[in-house]
Amino acid sequence: MDAYLFEWLNLLGRWVHLITGIAWIGASFYFVWLDAHLHAPRDRDEGERLDLAGEVWSVHGGGFYRAQKFRIAPAELPEPLHWFKWEAYSTWLSGMFMLVLVYWLGADVYLIDPAVANLAPAAAVAIAAVCLVGGWIVYDGLCRSRLGKNESALAAALLAGCSLAAWGLCQLFSGRGAFIHFGAMLGTIMAANVFFVIIPGQKELVRAKQAGRVPDPIHGLRGRQRSVHNTYFTLPVLFTMISNHYASLTNHRHAWLALVGMAVAGATIRLWFVMRHRGQSRPALIAVGVASIIGTFALAMPRVDAGRTGQSSSGTPDMAAVSAIVEARCVGCHAQRPTWPGFASAPKNVLLDSPDAIRRQALAIHQQSVVTKAMPIGNLTKMTDDERATIDAWFRTLGSR
């Protein structure tokens, strides 16, 4: 029953996180697009009278829309005034719920890999929490420093900091744990930007207008900077959210480089779109993004001799030898009724509890246990190199038939 409850909490948590994430990212993308497409008001007198920064006309869903942006604030605040904040807060809260449920409560399965660092679950969770908070502190400090006034220098510092974080996480946690915590660190920065900078700045603008004071434009400038940073972080965060399905990256010996490569690709591709919205052609940006993806592909490409770290002691392995290994190391999870704690059903519905099932899944078994060594997860069942070599030899005999 506990495993079944965990499965449902996992399902509902992912669903909520996906829904709120779409709402937040959609709003972020739209407002960045909107800001990049501002044009001088058609009615110049109205623009000067209202002190408009620009306006956008658009058509959608059978209707015409006119969006105007004020340089600082309107003469009088309208009612109601809509705020965009709960999308960010709900996304972060649901993401943290999933992080705690899967990676922190299940640290011994999903976060810790003894082959990387033999951490106690409490220590691993404490380090993870420090990384999330520390990432925000360092980022916010850089933005408020002199570097914050030079976007190119700030971008270089952030790239260096993110690369260091990626390397450090991959020295401490399992591959999938490192990748998801890198994304969680960026996601925490994004949500903290909204909570600590963007929304307080907007509230100060509102208070100034209500008090009859001239609003300080620094709040708008600072909020815009953090909002733009958030949109650049979006694609790297989305990549880390799906990365746990791709062990060729997360379990690579240079996984941190793959993580940095895909993060750079996401950020530069998103930057290319932003610049394109502004009418500026920057082919170098898309070239960097594509080159980063190609470079990561080449880095993570399996070697021909991948997995041959041991020697099979049985010559040409037969089905019985392979079935015995799978029974001992894999069937605890990959069975009609898993016996491993925390699993109500077989992951991805992959069953390995019969010789026929093992033959059907031969390619996946070889890929996961020999090429990437992603399974057993965290090597919880302690599959040996000799056992992996036996599976490797058996799989190669299948290809020669």
**Where along the chain do its domains lie?**
2-33+85-243, 37-70, 319-399
Is the model's pLDDT at 318 over the cut of 80?
yes
Strands, DSSP E only, in 164-316? none
Q: Do residues 366 and 317 lie in contact, with contact meaning Cβ atoms separated by under 8 Å?
A: no
Is the model's pLDDT at 401 over the cut of 80?
no
3-state secondary structure of 53: strand
11-25, 224-238, 278-292, 366-380: range with lowest mean pLDDT: 366-380
Is the model's pLDDT at 276 over the cut of 80?
yes
Banded model confidence at residue 312, pLDDT cuts 50, 70, 90: very low
- Span 3-59, pLDDT tens digits: 788 889 999 999 999 999 999 999 999 999 999 899 999 898 999 889 999 999 999
Question: How many Cα atoms are found within 13 Å in the side-chain-facing hemisphere of 360?
Answer: 8
Is the model's pLDDT at 314 over the cut of 80?
no
43-52, 228-237, 287-296: range with lowest mean pLDDT: 43-52
As a whole number, mean pLDDT of residues 364-391 equals 88
Pairwise CA distance, residues 139 & 203, whole Å = 23
In 3D space, the residue among 318, 380, 386 whose CA is nearest the CA of residue 355 turns out to be: 318
Is the model's pLDDT at 262 over the cut of 90?
yes
Banded model confidence at residue 101, pLDDT cuts 50, 70, 90: very high
Tokens of 88: 């960010």
Which of the two residues, 93 and 72, has the higher pLDDT score? 93
State residue 78's pLDDT score.
85
Q: Do residues 178 and 172 lie in contact, with contact meaning Cβ atoms separated by under 8 Å?
A: yes
Q: Do residues 229 and 142 lie in contact, with contact meaning Cβ atoms separated by under 8 Å?
A: no
State residue 307's pLDDT score.
46
Banded model confidence at residue 74, pLDDT cuts 50, 70, 90: confident
Is the model's pLDDT at 167 over the cut of 70?
yes
State residue 164's pLDDT score.
98
State residue 349's pLDDT score.
84
State residue 372's pLDDT score.
85
Q: What distance separates the 2 farthest-apart alpha carbons in the chain?
A: 88
Number of H helices, E strands in the chain: 15, 2
Banded model confidence at residue 211, pLDDT cuts 50, 70, 90: confident
Q: Which residues touch 330 (CB under 8 Å, ≥6 apart)?
A: 352, 365, 369, 375, 376, 381
Tokens of 117: 């660092």
- Span 180-198, pLDDT tens digits: 999 999 999 999 999 999 9
Is the model's pLDDT at 126 over the cut of 90?
yes
Banded model confidence at residue 218, pLDDT cuts 50, 70, 90: confident
State residue 400's pLDDT score.
55
Pairwise CA distance, residues 103 & 176, whole Å = 10
Question: Mean pLDDT for the chain?
Answer: 91
pTM of the model: 0.87
Q: Which amino acid is at 115?
A: A
